[in-house]
């Protein structure tokens, strides 16, 4: 098994510089919360936050810092907190299985009540939720931050038990799955054969992650000198590799340069682990592709409690998978004015990254504080989404864009957005996690 180590950090790059870079992914975006926030606003408002992941914890910490006397409750049955951008590094064999894991309790601010139960029913007309333990909780404001569900069952023949066996990996399913994916990929790049990568046709979090893993696999094979025994194919769900045209073109060029084949308009529908065959829906009918290693990225949907509630979009492109209906600038629900949404579950055109949460949270918090204080806010989220797109071990491109597909570089003139840079790699490998954790505390 090849041990690949990233280069040592340039001693001239101080910790502060690195943190500033890490915050690039988590650092820009046009937000205009007013500065009228120094003094705490006194209120007895009951604020429920459904979901204590990246978004829920960030909002809880920011609200706790802005409000005095508010009764803030976080609802989430999960005791562990997962730093999901770390999964790719685990699946690249560069970080240990426990690197992404911390405890939810660690990030819950004092004065905020964490109820370790899930929401099973949202009743926005009654301003109430029901929990998995059957409790009903009433609220004045609700923040829906439940993240999304990975729907492995939508791929016939696929279950999460298969991850780590029969050449099947899946970076998304959690730290253990990411580690097992690394083991499968490592064996595959030793032996050779056909490697298959894909993404679902649904909305998804971090749309760069499936691409990154194709690049990482290619890089390992080259470092092991087995690349000539390996065929790599990326099955794109549509006729592009990424939603932002200029990024898609850059990835297409890099894939061509690295001999990674692309099969466009291929949506994974079934997998046969015994025969190692993946079946795709294509405009020409069903097509089978054989593999020795596959990174399965399943369809993604809003969690059932959200999807089945009145909070979900009732029509339009976000209705089928039940994403929360919201104004894309204010993140306020368009039918229930006391409800906001944030993070992966939000039914807005972009924004399913932790970096997006960084720029959504101040907007949501600013509007809640303004409502409580009986004033108006013009805080707006511009769709900022970013991801350091790893193109090989030690190199990444910083991809940052907004709702209009404009590239919005955090460091114009310093970090070129579509260049494969070592400095961008360092952001992903070293600086992003501390910045993310500072974000959870409401400090980044």
By CB under 6 A, name the binding residues for ligand FAD.
25, 50-56, 75-76, 78, 84-85, 87-88, 118-119, 145-147, 171-172, 205-206, 209, 303, 305, 343-345, 352-355, 357, 387-388
Looking at the Cβ atoms of 279 and 359, the one nearer to ligand FAD is: 359
Looking at the Cβ atoms of 33 and 51, the one nearer to ligand FAD is: 51
Q: How far is CA 102 from CA 9, 86, 352, 433, in A?
A: 25, 12, 21, 12
Q: How far is the CB of 199 from ligand FAD (least distance, A)?
A: 11
Which of 387, 426, 431, 444 is the catalytic position? Answer: 387
Q: How far is the CB of 9 from ligand FAD (least distance, A)?
A: 19
User: Known catalytic residue: 313?
Assistant: no
Quote the tokens at residue 224.
Answer: 């092991």
Residues written for the chain = 444
Which of 48, 143, 173, 206 is the catalytic position? Answer: 206
Residue appearing with tokens 């290693």: 293
Q: How far is the CB of 36 from ligand FAD (least distance, A)?
A: 27
Task: Please list, in sequence order, all residues whose beta carbon lies within 8 angstroms of the beta carbon of residue 325, skipping any fewer than 6 positions away.
Answer: 311, 312, 313, 314, 318, 333, 334, 335, 347
Looking at the Cβ atoms of 52 and 408, the one nearer to ligand FAD is: 52
433 with 86: CB under 8 angstroms?
yes
Q: How far is the CB of 107 from ligand FAD (least distance, A)?
A: 11
Q: How far apart are CA 429 and CA 437, in angstroms?
A: 14
Q: How far is the CB of 104 from ligand FAD (least distance, A)?
A: 7
Question: Nearest CA to 370 among 32, 34, 20?
Answer: 34
Looking at the Cβ atoms of 116 and 419, the one nearer to ligand FAD is: 116
Q: How far apart are CA 406 and CA 247, in angstroms?
A: 11
User: Known catalytic residue: 439?
Assistant: no
Residue with the shortest CB distance to ligand FAD: 53
Cβ burial 267-287 (10 Å sphere, 16+ → b, else e):
bbbebebeebebbbbeeeeee
Looking at the Cβ atoms of 78 and 441, the one nearer to ligand FAD is: 78
Q: How far apart are CA 241 and CA 264, in angstroms?
A: 8
Active-site amino acid positions? 206, 387
């Amino acid at each position: 098994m090849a041990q690949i180590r990233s280069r040592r950090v340039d001693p001239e790059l101080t910790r502060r510089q690195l943190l500033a870079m890490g915050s690039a992914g988590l650092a820009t975006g046009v937000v205009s919360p007013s500065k009228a926030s120094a003094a705490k606003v006194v209120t007895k408002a009951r604020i429920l936050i459904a979901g204590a992941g990246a978004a829920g914890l960030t909002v809880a910490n920011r609200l706790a810092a802005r409000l005095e006397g508010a009764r803030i409750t976080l609802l989430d049955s999960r005791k562990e907190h997962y730093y999901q951008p770390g999964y790719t590094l685990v699946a690249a064999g560069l970080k240990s299985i426990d690197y992404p894991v911390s405890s939810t309790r660690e990030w819950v601010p004092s004065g905020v009540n964490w109820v370790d139960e899930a929401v099973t029913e949202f009743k926005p007309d009654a301003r109430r939720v029901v929990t998995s333990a059957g409790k009903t909780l009433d609220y004045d404001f609700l923040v829906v931050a439940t993240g999304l569900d990975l729907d492995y069952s939508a791929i016939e023949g696929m279950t999460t038990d298969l991850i780590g066996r029969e050449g099947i990996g899946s970076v998304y399913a959690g730290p253990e799955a990411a580690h097992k994916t690394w083991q499968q990929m490592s064996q595959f790049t030793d032996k050779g054969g056909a490697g298959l990568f894909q993404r679902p046709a649904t909305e998804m979090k971090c749309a760069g992650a499936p691409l990154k893993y194709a690049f990482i696999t290619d890089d390992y094979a080259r470092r092991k000198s087995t690349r000539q025994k390996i065929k790599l194919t990326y099955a794109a769900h549509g006729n592009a590799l990424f939603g932002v045209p200029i990024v898609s073109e850059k990835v297409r060029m890099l894939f061509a340069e690295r001999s990674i084949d692309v099969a466009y308009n291929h949506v994974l529908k079934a997998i046969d682990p015994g025969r190692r065959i993946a079946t795709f829906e294509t405009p020409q009918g069903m097509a089978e592709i054989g593999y020795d290693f596959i990174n399965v990225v399943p369809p993604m949907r809003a969690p059932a409690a959200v999807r089945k509630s009145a909070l979900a979009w009732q029509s339009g492109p976000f209705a089928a998978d039940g994403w929360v209906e919201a104004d894309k600038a204010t993140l306020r629900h368009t039918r229930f004015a006391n409800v906001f949404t944030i993070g992966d579950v939000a039914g807005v055109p972009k924004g399913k990254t932790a970096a997006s949460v960084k720029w959504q949270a101040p907007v949501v918090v600013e509007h809640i504080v303004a409502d409580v204080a009986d004033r108006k806010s013009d805080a707006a989220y511009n769709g900022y989404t970013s991801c350091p797109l790893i193109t090989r071990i030690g190199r990444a491109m910083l991809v940052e864009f907004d709702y209009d597909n404009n590239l919005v570089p955090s460091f114009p003139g310093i970090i070129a957005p579509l260049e494969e840079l070592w400095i961008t790699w360092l952001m992903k490998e070293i600086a992003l996690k501390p910045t993310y954790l500072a974000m959870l505390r409401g400090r980044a």
